[in-house]
Structure 1
């Protein structure tokens, strides 16, 4: 496995995970209109990132659905979230926003790594992919961070 394959596999897994996290957030907080609508919109961004990653992988003769080797397993992004029993809905929302934020942060780092390997290998198509997707991932991070900043004082002060 080379660095490009490692980066593409990691991002594919990370973006699919983030898509699910955002879709779950949108569904779970349907009554919270800003959470519901923005999370659903941001999930579509990650879905598009997955499609673009799949296209890039195909150009590199990679099948992202094939089993990974030991390098990927050690580098991969699968860190199951610890789900504590939190009875307070505000705490649940903060926990969910935190998990989405951390997933987006991991993806941001991996987009940066893909951009670096693309530059090193002079792969303009991969660099273009990273240049398109990474700013959107940063926007996902900014949204979750803003929501956490806005909700934390009222939720935590009420405990």
Structure 2
């Protein structure tokens, strides 16, 4: 079996530095409106697509309060969100806070209204606020070594 140039990293664009990756991640978070959210529970991993918005510090989603994702988060409040594509990956890990609409603070960001499944309009739904603790970003194998752009809740650039 022969190894191609791309598999060796030959012919790939130069790896972005951490500052550029952070800027690209923030742009993706502000623009993307869908994510894959992974949680874990007694029956194993659970992965679902959800609409999302970035409120400037957290990734916010909404879903029905009785579903498996929310049950998993009540038991283990951590999740991973995946944005992008296999050639422009952003993974966001962190704790998730579950907030019913009637407990939403009065100063909640207006961007929450952009969620299509909105707890203010859909009875039984709750907000999920994912606070990033670790963020990974890469576009090709040459960027894997420097993929961590946030660690312990602090941007590395």
Normalising by the smaller structure, the TM-score range is under 0.3
TM-score w.r.t. the length of structure 1 is: 0.24
TM-score calculated relative to the size of structure 2: 0.24
Structure scoring higher RCO (CA < 8 A, sep ≥ 6) equals 1
Structure holding more strand per residue:
2
| Structure number having the greater helix percentage | 1
